[in-house]
Structure 1
Amino acid sequence: MENELDIRKAQRGDHEAFTRLFRQLEAQLYRVAKTILVQDEDCADALQETTLKVYKGLTSLKQPKFFKTWVIRILINECNQLLRMRERTVTVAEVPEETDVSYVHFDNSGAVDLQSCINRLDESLRLAIVLFYYEDLSIKQIAGVLGISEGAVRARLHRARRLLFEQIQPVREEGLANEQ
């Protein structure tokens, strides 16, 4: 496998192999970071720290086949670290007004922006959906990345699907009613 060869080369200090590996994962890592952090500046910070930690710790990776899940786990830890740091420094004046996410307004076009529906989910549910559907990780891999059981991953996916259905169903019904 070509990726495993690049991983082995990168472990031996080949900077070009390391760069190739990260270029292949760049879009996926950004999506995961955006799922957790939302703001582009924070995503860039998390990706930079992740790149540095992966570069420094690459020799400790025993099995190259787990490279992607290992990198995603490091990224999630970095994102959570950024959130914890931000949590400590936010002042009351900086806190935005609460928005009621239980109320979802769609126009009558019948179009549903699935990504905005996903973004309304709780972070743990949103992350499970992104890792499963966008990053094509297995339930077992997601469990390893998130440090939870496979049953918990299945439960999060089930709950997220149900909540997405509840957001989308009224719009579909409204669209059908308008067509008649």
Structure 2
Amino acid sequence: MNMDEQLVQNAINGDDDAFLKLMQLYKIDLFKTALSYLKNEQEALEAIQEITYRAYKSIGTVREPSYFKTWLIRIMINYCNDQLKKNKRVLLNEDILQAQGISENHEELELKDAMLALDDRSREILTLKYFHDLKIKEIASSMQCPEGTVKTWLNKALKSLRGKLEEKGGNLNV
């Protein structure tokens, strides 16, 4: 058991300091995930606070300490999807993003826009696989389904993403 896994085990057993250390360790990953969905720094920071609370309340449900990060990111993705549905938000335009200090090129904006147009499961799988570099096995474990199912969903998600990008006239090789 590595040090992070030991921290997770301690947190599961009620060690608040261990839980806070874990949240500190993964806050950048959580922030990047929230920002990629919500497109707003303030909302991303609020999301981290909410996720910290939700994770603290349900830390006892973590079955495998090595998948704690995946578990946390899934909570964040679910929260962000709920927020997007609730607010029915439209992607911010490039000027606002640049005003917030986030400089992105046109292809990145097209990709993010196409990602937002996908269904929740496709967006979640692509986020876990390509933005958090999780292996198929880790995604399958976190989603509690067979690896073959994750591969099928991943292929469908990539096909759908390609289709969305082609509709926009994008030339990204996904």
Normalising by structure 1, we get a TM-score of 0.66
The answer as to 2:147 corresponding to 1:167 is: no
Q: 1:145 to 1:33 in 2, by over 3 A?
A: farther
Deviations for 1:87-114, whole angstroms, at most 9, x for unmatched residues?
A: 4xxxxxxx87xx9xxxxxxxxxxxx665
- 8 Å CA contact 1:35, 1:126 repeated in 2: no
Cross-structure match for 2:136: 139
Whether contact under 8 Å (1:35, 1:127) holds in the other structure is no
What is the DSSP-based 3-state SS (H/G/I as helix, E as strand, rest coil) of the residue aligned with 1:122?
A: helix
Instruction: Give structure 1 stretches of 5+ with no counterpart.
Output: 88-94, 100-111, 170-180
Change (3 A) 1:64 1:146: closer
Where 1:13 maps in the other structure, the secondary structure is: coil
Task: Tell me the residue number matched to 1:67.
Answer: 68
| 3-state SS, counterpart of residue 10 of structure 1 | helix
Of 114, 117, 121, the residue aligned with 2:110 is: 117
User: Which amino acid in the other structure matches residue 135 of structure 2?
Assistant: S
Preserved contact between residue 46 and residue 82 of structure 1 (Cα < 8 Å): no
- Given that 2:7 and 2:22 are in contact with CA atoms closer than 8 Å, whether structure 1 keeps it comes out as yes
Using the TM superposition, give the Cα deviation of residue 56 of structure 1 relative to its aligned residue in structure 2, in angstroms: 1.2
- Corresponding residue number in structure 2 for 1:130: 127
Could you tell me how far 1:18 is from its partner in structure 2?
1.4
| Corresponding pairs, count | 150
Q: Partners in 1 of 2:19 and 2:112 — Cα distance?
A: 31
- Residues 41 and 116 (structure 1), Cα distance of their counterparts in 2 relative to 1, 3 Å cut: same
- The answer (yes or no) to whether the contact 2:9–2:65 under 8 Å persists in 1 is yes
Which residue in the other structure is 1:83 paired with? 84
Aligned residues of 1:9 and 1:17 also touching (Cα < 8 A): yes
The correspondence of residues 1-180 of structure 1 with structure 2, limited to 5 A, is: 1-87=2-88, 114-123=107-116, 124=118, 127-142=124-139, 149-150=149-150, 151-160=152-161, 167-168=170-171
Which residue identity does 1:44 align to in structure 2? Answer: L
- Measured against aligned partners, the alpha-carbon deviations of 1:40-81 in whole angstroms (never above 9, x if no partner) come to 222222221111011111122122122122111211221122
CA contact (8 A) 1:129 1:160 kept: no
Once residues 127 and 62 of structure 1 are traced to their aligned partners in structure 2, the CA distance between those partners, rounded to angstroms, is 21
TM-score (normalizing by structure 2): 0.68
Which stretch of the first structure deviates more once superposed, 27-36 or 155-164? Answer: 155-164
CA–CA distance in structure 1, aligned partners of residues 22 and 106 of structure 2:
32
